[in-house]
Amino acid sequence: MALTKTVAGIAAGTLLTASTAFAQTYPERQITMVVPFSAGGPTDTVGRLIAEKMSADLGQQIIVENVGGAGGTLGAGNVAAAEADGYTILLHHIGMATSATLYRNLAYNPLEAFDYVGLVTEVPMTIVARKDLEPADFASLVTYVKENADTITMANAGIGAASHLCGMLFMQALEAPIVTVPYKGTGPAMTELLGGQIDIMCDQTTNTTEQIKGGTIKAYAVTSPARLDIFPDLPTVSEGGFPGLEVSVWHGLYAPKGTPAEVTARLSQSLQTALADPEIAAKLGELGTAPSPAADATPDALKAKLEAEIARWKPIIETAGVYAD
Q: Is 16 inside any structural domain?
A: no
170 with 278, same domain: the answer is no
236 with 132, same domain: the answer is yes
The percent of residues above 90 in pLDDT, for the chain, comes to 75
Q: Given this model, what pLDDT does residue 6 score? A: 58
pLDDT tens digit sequence for 187-242: 889 999 999 999 999 999 988 999 999 999 999 999 999 999 999 999 999 999 99
221 with 259, same domain: the answer is no
Distance between CA atoms of residues 182 and 150, nearest Å: 16
pLDDT band of 276, cuts 50, 70, 90: very high
CATH (domain of 231): 3.40.190.10
Q: Is 12 inside any structural domain?
A: no
Number of domains the chain contains: 2
Neighbours of 187 (CB within 10 A): 15
131 with 221, same domain: the answer is yes
Last-in-domain residue among 245, 265, 282 = 245
307 with 197, same domain: the answer is no
132 with 229, same domain: the answer is yes
Asked if the model's pLDDT at residue 10 lies above 70, the reply is no
> For the chain, what is the mean pLDDT?
91
67 with 162, same domain: the answer is no
268 with 227, same domain: the answer is no
Q: Is 306 inside any structural domain?
A: yes
**Structural domain range at position 157:** 124-245
pLDDT tens digit sequence for 241-273: 999 899 999 999 999 999 999 999 999 999 999
Q: Is 176 inside any structural domain?
A: yes
- Stretch 303-324: mean pLDDT: 91
Asked if the model's pLDDT at residue 7 lies above 60, the reply is no
Q: Given this model, what pLDDT does residue 140 score? A: 97
Last-in-domain residue among 245, 267, 286 = 245
Asked if the model's pLDDT at residue 112 lies above 80, the reply is yes
Distance between CA atoms of residues 302 and 53, nearest Å: 20
217 contact partners, CB below 8 Å, separation of at least 6? 128, 129, 130, 131, 193, 194, 208, 211
Q: Given this model, what pLDDT does residue 15 score? A: 46
237 with 146, same domain: the answer is yes
State the first-to-last Cα distance of the chain, in angstroms, to the nearest integer.
53
Q: Is 5 inside any structural domain?
A: no
Distance between CA atoms of residues 25 and 262, nearest Å: 11
37 with 139, same domain: the answer is no
Last-in-domain residue among 214, 245, 276 = 245
SS3 98: helix
- Stretch 146-155: mean pLDDT: 95
212 with 287, same domain: the answer is no
Q: Is 162 inside any structural domain?
A: yes
CATH (domain of 256): 3.40.190.150
Kindly report the pTM of this predicted structure.
Answer: 0.84
pLDDT tens digit sequence for 113-144: 999 999 999 999 999 999 999 999 999 999 99
- Stretch 72-79: mean pLDDT: 96
Q: Is 9 inside any structural domain?
A: no
Q: Is 316 inside any structural domain?
A: yes
Distance between CA atoms of residues 223 and 250, nearest Å: 13
Distance between CA atoms of residues 57 and 50, nearest Å: 11
165 with 274, same domain: the answer is no
Q: Given this model, what pLDDT does residue 22 score? A: 56
pLDDT tens digit sequence for 26-75: 999 999 999 998 888 888 999 999 999 999 999 999 999 999 888 899 99
